[in-house]
């Protein structure tokens, strides 16, 4: 039931954009209709007010004229003055009395008397005589006048005629001045109109302000309604986007976390925001130790230099470098890096992609060595077949001729040199055959401490002769390893002799044996000689490569082959001016018997 209610709530929240658009249009129509109704209501209200005001002015003029005509026997001048004074009221533009022919017989503007009141068309009174009509007419250049008019009735019907006879009699006797006023006498028989023109500008301004208020309220209402609809749509979009973003984020995090390459992301402030397990394995740092820390405090100088290149606008793709990480581990890396910017071009951070090339390079080196070994095998077989038999014949003839000469003679010495050179060539061929022949190991559980001690005793005399001090450091907790003791002793002797030969003027030979965790045992041989040129480090294990005047160049190649046959690791380093360092790493016996691989 709860799940059904939740599903029903979620379904009710899913508002289609078309529904929102339709609701917004309906709201807009409603607002427009209400605004138009309000505008029409304001116009009707203005018309009513102006009509009533015009009617009041007309009645007041009629009342004044009626009083003057009956009590003081007004004439045309008094009526004219009454119109002029009444037109001074606020918002009154003019007052006029118009005869049936459309001529202004009285006007608040004296210059317009006896002129057509409206040249364009005649003023026509529609409806009952005592009911006011109104219309909007042009006034001036750009203005409008609200005209209110009806029949002019200053006297009751029939009263004007009697009043006219009385005025004529008094005028004949000289009691009132002036000539007879013809239009007074026609009030009973003809329809005169009184017209009041009112200024609509104040009312239009009031209507304009009301319109502005109405428009403002309509806009507020429209925006409020639209905001409500948009809020519903945004809420729906937010819920949908949030759900999609959560799914995408979870998917992306799983993909990035399990990438076989290291991924390091930094923010705009230089803090590490992402550090996947592959990066932790390559760098030797735990993700918790690196995340949210400044890159300068965690990453090695080589990677920081790449970040500076990114700051200058460069883009890095598959750049191979050597990085020194924790424990002075040198790791060959292929690095791709770029700066991240958002849609508006603002800098967001940087991302570094690290690929460990150690295994790739090891495989490449192994392939190259295997190719050389294969070529050497064929060469060794040919040499053994083509050279060894003639060498035996040459040695036999040299021995025969040496026996024919007297001891101490020059010829006997030459024959002896020939025998020595033949023996030297035979040794070279024998070493070549040994190198090309597959290594046959006889492994057994061996403790390294006694093996190292015996190997040092074998070169002790040679070292003392060369004024070389041997310093051995063998830990007590070294695990036993599965090796061929004789072959490993041969490797150590080759490395010792190379070191002794390098220290021509004496020095120090240091041999260390220690544990590397609980899985490996490590032997390190270092000397204080001149070291190995950096350009030669990648070639010292190649067959026949040597920098000595005398030597076959097979010693270190044989060492590498034996170590490789043990599935161990051999590493050589030569810091400038600090001699050479050879490191041999063997898996402990427990690892080799099935609990792991080196």
What is d(CA 263, CA 351) in angstroms, rounded to the nearest whole number?
A: 7
What does the DSSP assignment read for 224-253?
HHHHHHHHHHHHHHHHHHHHHHHHHHHHHH
Low-confidence ranges of the chain (pLDDT < 50): 1-14, 157-161, 173-180, 595-598
Closest CA to 324 of 313, 332, 314, 315: 332
Query: 153 near 128, Cβ under 8 Å?
Result: no
Task: Give the end-to-end CA distance of the chain in Å, rounded to a whole number.
Answer: 59
* 216-239 confidence digits (pLDDT tens): 777 777 777 667 767 777 777 778
Q: Where residue 430 sits, what CATH number does that domain have?
A: 1.10.287
* Confidence at residue 234, expressed as pLDDT on a 0 to 100 scale: 74
What does the DSSP assignment read for 297-323?
GTS-HHHHHHHHHHHTT--EEEEEEEE
Give the bridge partners for 136, in sequence order: 146
Do 371 and 273 lie in a common domain?
Answer: no
In a domain, 118, yes or no: yes
Q: Where residue 291 sits, what CATH number does that domain have?
A: 3.30.450.20
* Confidence at residue 114, expressed as pLDDT on a 0 to 100 scale: 84
Query: 356 near 325, Cβ under 8 Å?
Result: no
Do 479 and 521 lie in a common domain?
Answer: yes
What is d(CA 279, CA 289) in angstroms, rounded to the nearest whole number?
A: 12
Query: 194 near 55, Cβ under 8 Å?
Result: no
* Confidence at residue 442, expressed as pLDDT on a 0 to 100 scale: 84
Do 177 and 287 lie in a common domain?
Answer: no
Domain boundary among 389, 406, 436: 436
Do 342 and 461 lie in a common domain?
Answer: no
Q: Which domain holds residue 155?
A: 30-207
Do 430 and 448 lie in a common domain?
Answer: no
Query: 525 near 514, Cβ under 8 Å?
Result: no
Do 467 and 572 lie in a common domain?
Answer: yes
* Confidence at residue 512, expressed as pLDDT on a 0 to 100 scale: 93
What the block records as the tokens of 596 is 């792991």
- Looking up tokens 């270092």 gives 526
List, in order, residues 6 or more apart from 588 with CB less than 8 Å away: 479, 480, 481, 518, 519, 520, 521
* Confidence at residue 527, expressed as pLDDT on a 0 to 100 scale: 92
Do 432 and 539 lie in a common domain?
Answer: no
* Confidence at residue 168, expressed as pLDDT on a 0 to 100 scale: 54
In a domain, 213, yes or no: no
What is d(CA 339, CA 331) in angstroms, rounded to the nearest whole number?
A: 24
SS3 340: strand
In a domain, 315, yes or no: yes
Give the bridge partners for 514, in sequence order: 522
Question: How many domains does one find in the chain?
Answer: 4
* Confidence at residue 16, expressed as pLDDT on a 0 to 100 scale: 58
Domain boundary among 207, 223, 242: 207
SS3 19: helix
């Amino acid at each position: 039931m709860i799940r059904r209610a939740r599903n029903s709530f979620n379904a009710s929240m899913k508002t289609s954009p078309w529904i929102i658009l339709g609701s917004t249009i309906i709201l807009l129509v409603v607002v427009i209709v209400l605004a138009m109704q309000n505008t029409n209501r304001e116009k009707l209200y203005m018309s009513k007010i102006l009509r009533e005001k015009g009617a009041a002015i007309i009645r007041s003029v009629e009342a004044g004229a009626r009083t003057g005509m009956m009590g003081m026997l007004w004439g045309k001048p008094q009526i004219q003055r009454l119109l002029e004074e009444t037109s001074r009221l606020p918002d009154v533009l003019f007052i006029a009395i118009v005869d049936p022919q459309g001529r202004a017989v009285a006007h608040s503007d004296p210059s317009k008397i006896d002129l057509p009141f409206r040249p364009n068309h005649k003023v026509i009174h529609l409806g009952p005589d005592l009911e006011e009509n109104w219309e909007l007419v042009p006034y001036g250049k750009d203005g409008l006048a609200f005209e209110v008019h009806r029949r002019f009735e200053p006297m009751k019907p029939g009263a004007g005629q009697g009043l006219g006879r009385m005025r004529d009699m008094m005028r004949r006797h000289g009691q009132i001045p002036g000539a007879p006023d013809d239009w007074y006498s026609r009030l009973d028989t003809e329809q005169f109109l009184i017209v009041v023109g009112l200024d609509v500008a104040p009312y239009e301004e009031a209507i304009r302000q009301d319109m502005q208020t109405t428009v403002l309220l309509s806009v507020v209402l429209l925006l409020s309604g639209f905001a409500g609809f948009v809020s519903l749509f945004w809420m729906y979009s937010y819920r949908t986007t949030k759900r999609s973003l959560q799914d995408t984020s979870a998917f992306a995090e799983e993909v990035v976390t399990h990438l076989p390459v290291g991924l390091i992301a930094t923010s705009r402030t230089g803090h590490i925001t992402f550090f996947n397990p592959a990066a932790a394995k390559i760098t030797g740092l735990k993700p918790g130790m690196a995340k949210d820390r400044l890159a300068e405090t965690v990453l090695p100088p080589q990677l920081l230099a790449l970040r500076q290149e990114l700051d200058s606008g460069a883009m890095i793709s598959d750049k191979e470098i050597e990085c020194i990480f924790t424990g002075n581990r040198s790791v060959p890396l292929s690095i791709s890096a770029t700066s991240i910017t958002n849609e508006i071009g603002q800098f967001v951070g940087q991302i570094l992609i690290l690929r460990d090339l150690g295994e790739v390079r090891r495989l490449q080196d192994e392939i190259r060595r295997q190719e050389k070994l294969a070529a050497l095998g064929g060469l060794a077989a040919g040499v053994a077949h083509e050279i060894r038999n003639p060498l035996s014949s040459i040695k036999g003839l040299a021995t025969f001729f040496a026996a024919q000469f007297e001891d101490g003679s020059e010829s006997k010495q030459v024959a002896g040199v020939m025998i020595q050179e033949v023996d030297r060539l035979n040794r070279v061929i024998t070493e070549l055959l040994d190198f090309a022949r597959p290594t046959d190991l006889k492994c057994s559980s061996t403790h390294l401490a006694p093996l190292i001690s015996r190997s040092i005793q074998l070169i002790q005399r040679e070292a003392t002769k060369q004024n070389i001090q041997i310093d051995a450091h063998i830990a007590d907790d070294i695990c036993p390893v599965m090796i061929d003791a004789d072959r490993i002793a041969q490797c150590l002797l080759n490395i010792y002799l190379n070191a002794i030969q390098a220290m021509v003027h004496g020095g120090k030979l240091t041999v260390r044996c220690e544990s590397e965790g609980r899985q490996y045992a490590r032997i390190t041989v270092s000397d204080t000689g001149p070291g190995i040129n950096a350009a030669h480090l990648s070639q010292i294990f190649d067959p026949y490569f040597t920098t000595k005047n005398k030597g076959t160049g097979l010693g270190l190649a044989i060492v590498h082959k034996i170590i490789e046959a043990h599935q161990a690791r051999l590493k050589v380093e030569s810091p400038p001016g600090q001699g050479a360092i050879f490191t041999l790493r063997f898996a402990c016996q427990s690892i080799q018997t099935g609990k792991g691989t080196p």
